A and B are shown apart, each in its own frame.
Chain A
């Protein structure tokens, strides 16, 4: 009897877990320079580049399940869970795993949760968290990169393209940038509260600490790209790639 009840307990809890999470999948054919524009409410978003001309969207919806209505318009895939669920009181987390062509542009934001983007080298990679969550951008080769959150870490591991713009902004967390030593960029890095700006191998005679060590201004190489890093209450570190 005891054994039977234990088996019943595990079986029922397993069923509950399965029924609590729905899966949403969709595949869109895509051109090389397709753009993904995603606005999530809460949950983790992972975007990975792959060698196929299509976008594969998988979403795991926690209860109460959110509405998702992706749209494909003139080369852009739009997913806006804020708009699709406006006015709803309770909406569960939505965890996305999206595969895009390597050369796609990715513009993702969420109100709360982690954002991960890897192996993308299109025109733009933008990751914006309205409140808290970590941003991890790895193996990126985009010309324009922006990462912003309030509380959470930001990690960037990628190239610095000539003429590109790179902006990283956080209020509390650590910002770590792993870029090639031969990158060419102008830098403005500001950490006013901690004054913790570590240039690592990028420290050269043109890099200057100004405003009582709260900001570093300088140039690496011929300075063709622009990197702007602001961390109000956290640290900034540069790591050689």
Chain B
């Protein structure tokens, strides 16, 4: 089974709606493929979160009032746009351009379309995540002008997501750890501390050198391990 096929089936797999044989192939693939396992974990987490009653608390206190405010905001923006258009209409513009203007526009369009093509090809071909390659100067330039997300931005977003998942599992562990045997609690703390030290180390390296992609990758891996440790112990 390849990653694409596995990722298509993850949602059905988590709902236990796959045939036994297909479910086993998915399971086997997840056991050896870190990116797919990560995706499955994210899915499972979302499902878990949705199952919880706590989601009710995250709803706004007065949803009708919120919708009212959103409606008002949209209507205000539409009316201001209309008034702008009305103001612009009377001034008729001449659509005659000089040769230099035409040349500059063609050049601009060509540049933008080639940039978009390159970005598209790069995104399409970026399949293998196991070997991390440093972004090229071109990538960095695209990132600086905001056409693509820089590796640092991607990492920061990913860390934020992981941190919120860790907070969630931390709460569940905190509620359960009092029931664990003393040796289990000690082992958990020891292992969590080990992972935390690793995370601390990579954060320090990344502060000194934000372009160190290997440390970024290892930080991601360590945070995933932390999530797994918390999730698996919260089941006890």
Contacts and interface: CB of A to CB of B under 8 A. Distances in A.
Given A74-B20, A82-B235, A228-B34, 6 more contacts: A89-B180, A132-B191, A171-B222, A211-B214, A232-B221, A233-B194
A53 interface: no
Interface residues of A, number: 48
Nearest to A150: B191
Interface of A: 35, 41-42, 73-76, 82, 86-91, 105, 107, 111-112, 123-124, 126, 130-132, 144-146, 150-151, 165-167, 169, 171-172, 188, 190, 192-193, 211, 214-215, 217, 226, 228, 230, 232-233
Interface of B: 20, 24, 27-28, 31-34, 130-131, 179-181, 183-184, 187-188, 190-191, 194-195, 197-198, 201, 214-215, 218, 221-222, 225, 228-229, 232-233, 235-236
B179 A89 contact: yes
B130 to A, nearest CB: 6
Contacts of B218: 190, 192, 230, 232
B190 A151 contact: yes
A145 B184 CA distance: 27
B229 A188 contact: no
Given A188-B131, A217-B131, A130 B179 contact: no
A202 B201 CA distance: 30
A151 B28 contact: no
B235 A192 contact: no
Contacts of A124: 28, 31-32
A169 B221 CA distance: 10
A153 to B, nearest CB: 14
B151 to A, nearest CB: 14
Contact of A165 (B33, B187, B195): B33
Contacts of B201: 193
Contact of B194 (A88, A145, A150, A192): A150
B198 A214 contact: no
Contact of A42 (B24, B184, B198, B232): B184
Contact of A112 (B131, B187, B225): B187
Contacts of A151: 190-191, 194
Contacts of B221: 169, 230, 232
Nearest to A89: B179
A150 B224 CA distance: 12
A34 to B, nearest CB: 11
Closest 4 CB pairs of A and B: A165-B32, A131-B191, A130-B232, A211-B214
A123 B215 CA distance: 33
A41 B236 contact: yes
Contacts of B131: 188, 217
